[in-house]
Structure 1
């Protein structure tokens, strides 16, 4: 059987563009939406979820225990609760691999305004000898 000759005709098969496969969602500032919004009022459950979402977007640490911590804290002292809240507040940077005082000082250097109450706890007498005060919540776990 003789070999087939190559053709110069374009391929007739339709090629799909990646943009045809993706749907476009609504972005901030866009007036168009991929799906029309329903006009029914939100249910009580939806309102509770929306309230939690709004609350989570607010700054969560003015160095008070806000009740938003996600660990069991009944056995902790108020100072430990405050330190755990500091550990879980990402706006001061990562707490893994550094002591709480090093993290506080780094946040201060970067102008992130870490709470002074935290520094007072960390420089208190014997605080540098107690790993529960000196080290972050994740020390020895990650």
Structure 2
């Protein structure tokens, strides 16, 4: 168990380092255009945190009939780690990338593969660690 916790701490540090390195690198390469990506990445993190905290407050009520119809039970189980790490990470990444999808801006393929995709993936990993879920990576 101690080894697993050490690996978890190690991966948190690397996620933070990679995330901020990508943001700084994008700022150096693309200049002011990178500011929008930074805002979108932070918005994705905030969206995940707010969604998780709202669903956590509804924890006992999520399984009531009205909330079941809206799919809150499935989303709560994904975000709280009850359905496995891969499905949970996928759900967090989809919510994290939502501001990028809604921004309606053109991004060159190089910008997308070099910065946007890695930023969203490491940001989703960092968000997953920030919430200190029960499910282990």
Pair in the same fold by TM > 0.5: no
Ranked by relative contact order (alpha carbons within 8 Å, sequence separation 6 or more), the top structure is 2
Report the structure number with the largest CA radius of gyration. 1
Compute the TM-score of the two structures, normalised by the length of structure 1: 0.25
Q: Which has the higher helix share?
A: 2
Compute the TM-score of the two structures, normalised by the length of structure 2: 0.25
